[in-house]
Chain A
Amino acid sequence: MYKEISIDPVTRLEGHGKISIFLDDKGDVAHACLQIPELRGYERFAIGRLAEEMPRITETICGVCPTAHHFAATKALDALYGVEPTPAARKIREFMYNTFMFEDHNLHFYFLGGPDFIVGPDAPAAQRNVLGVIAKVGLEIGKKVIDIRKRTRSIIQTLGGRVVHPVNGLPGGVSKGVTKENQAEWKKTAEDAVEFAKFTLQAFDDIVLKNKTYVDLIVGDIYKHRTYYMGLVDDNNKVNFYDGWVRVVDPDGKEFAKFKGKDYQNHISEGVETWTYIKFPYLKNVGWKGFVDGKDSGVYRVAPLGRLNAADGMATPIAQEHYERFYKTLGGKPVHNTLALHWARVIEAMQAAETMVKLINDPEILDPNIRNMDFKIPKVGIGVIEAPRGTLYHHYETDEQGRMTGANLIVATVNNSAAINMSIEKAARSLIKGGNVNDGLLNMIEMAFRAYDPCFACATHTMPGQIPIEINIHCADGAIVKTIKN
């Protein structure tokens, strides 16, 4: 006999979700799950449309990470039309993409997941937000966050045409090049981004790593799962956000698979459950064993922790130093502690900033040859990229006129959907005993999935906009015995 507690929808993540926690008669957790009631119909909506529209259509899946969809779609078009971007175009795409990764990761650290640590998981709800963060780190730092975000987004605006929903990705290249004036200005922005990333890593050190309670929370068993990990790596097995090999390591850290994105269907299957619209990708060659840990379970994780675990290192020197410290502090590779995602995220922000510096100083980025138009007859195109929230796959099939006949998207967070469910259930089981539930406990359960920085693909809201939060506690016969709302 079960009682149900629901957190509907969840706070501080992108998209709509509902957590349901079922208690047994003793008030302990029998089962918990995350249900996604939102249906995103883009794969059906795409059929019949011209493939070249897909970078502009799919980026409207989300208002927070549109650049990831835009470039995954652009890369799918490269493959579809059998064309490689020019060297300058590739560098422009990578520069813009690393700029996006930098600002998105900072957004999460300071405004989304960061409040859990910066303000504290037990702080009152009214303080666990960006204003609480600003109150803790100071007004000047708050202004710096806004300023660096504005300047990096200005780069995306200039190159992309729009900062939200950019339009510059084209098969074989990009629509706009980098001028000498841009380069001069953006060199300074990139250098400041590196300094800001250093500041953020120091802030993480001072606020989180020097606080024993927080470190115990990170390394504790509540937020730990032994899973496989997936991420893009370059030819040297170093983390790469834009391109490379998809690499998978097992729970012991050993390489399990390494493949090109076009072969993803040989390695990934997608399971479905009747109680949610979100799918559950798993490793085909291990198999689906349910929502369980371990080497025999095909559950894998992506996003910053997945990427760092799947790689042999970072591609830039300062990020590499922090990568080494990360593993030394947390007991070696791979790290299975979910809350370590926050640390991995700020290390990645450092690599993104360093890569911005490297690319904007490369003379080839000024080359006006930004488009290769040697197109082939289209049929199938698969583009893979590392979105902030994980590996993102865009798979298009078309007729010979380039009209879409089929599409499959594995949207970054979806890779983590099984693990997110497992994390919520494990945290709930550990924290809720004897029916004792309070706001602080519920927030700690939500911390389990917020660390993944999940994005369940939201559209804009109608006005006035709010996602209502409702927690329903059900007794065994289904009646609601308690409701908590915001």
Chain B
Amino acid sequence: MKKLLIGLGNEYCGDDAIGIIIAKQLKEINHDCDLKIGGLTAFDLLEAIDGYDLVVIVDALHTPDSTAGEIYELKIEDFKGESDQSYIHGMNLASALDIGSRLKLSMPGSIKIFGIGIRHKCDYGDRLDPDLEKSLPELVLKINRIIMHVKEN
């Protein structure tokens, strides 16, 4: 089984780096996974996931209803209707997969998407909010348990 960890975010925008940090730490536990990090566009994602069986994506999440430090497991269906396919940054994973399937590219059998609730959308700096930093080990373990379950099945 070919596996890919993707950490999305900006390492210089405070809590927006959480996806990258968690993906890197998951890689340390899961040596058999490949890793991609950074500010990936929908097309970058489309190219990145080609040829993988399992893809795990982690990113920061900030909505009016989200709680800082919570893990939100999202599905592709959550993104449909939220995507604007008229420009690169309006296109999200749902758009990328839609394009991929229309072009008959090979798509992963399983995609797990995790949003980590953050308090501050984009503060400049390369440090996390202290409370978020404290909850990091637990976040990594929780997500890893879910990944292990998928691998075993």
Contacts and interface: CB of A to CB of B under 8 A. Distances in A.
B85 A129 contact: yes
Contacts of B13: 459
A467 B41 CA distance: 13
Nearest to B62: A462
Contact of B118 (A41, A146, A150, A462): A462
Interface centre among B16, B79, B86 (most CB of A within 10 A): B86
Contacts of B113: 463
Contact of A142 (B11, B84, B85, B103): B103
A131 B89 CA distance: 15
Contact of A459 (B10, B61, B90): B10
Interface in A310-355: none
B40 A469 contact: no
B86 A460 contact: no
A139 interface: yes
A146 B103 contact: yes
Interface string A215-234: 00000000000000000000
A60 B39 contact: yes
Interface string B68-102: 00000010001100111111111110000011001
A164 B8 CA distance: 11
B104 to A, nearest CB: 8
B86 A63 contact: no
Given A63-B38, A463-B60, A112 B92 contact: no
B92 A464 contact: yes
Contacts of B104: 139
A437 B15 CA distance: 41
Given A460-B9, A462-B121, A107 B86 contact: no
A115 B86 contact: yes
Contact of B44 (A44, A163, A486): A163
A131 B102 contact: yes
Contacts of A45: 12, 124-125
B85 to A, nearest CB: 4
Contacts, number: 133
Contacts of A62: 39
B52 interface: no
Contacts of B92: 463-466
A464 B57 CA distance: 12
A303 to B, nearest CB: 17
B11 to A, nearest CB: 7
A11 interface: yes
Contacts of B43: 107, 111, 149
Interface in A26-80: 41-42, 44-45, 57, 60, 62-64, 66
A90 interface: no
B88 A112 contact: yes
B93 to A, nearest CB: 8
B140 to A, nearest CB: 18
A388 to B, nearest CB: 13
A14 B12 CA distance: 19
A129 B102 CA distance: 14
Given A63-B41, A146-B103, A465 B89 contact: yes
Contacts of A107: 43, 88
Given A60-B10, A63-B38, A459-B16, A469 B84 contact: yes
Contacts of A159: none
Interface string A425-467: 0000000000000000000000000000000001111111111
Contacts of A163: 44
Interface of B: 8-13, 16, 38-41, 43-44, 46-47, 50, 59-62, 74, 78-79, 82-92, 98-99, 102-105, 113, 115, 118, 121-122, 124-125
17 contacts: A12-B90, A66-B39, A142-B103, A146-B47, A149-B43, A164-B41, A458-B89, A459-B13, A459-B122, A462-B60, A462-B115, A463-B8, A463-B59, A463-B92, A466-B90, A467-B84, A467-B87
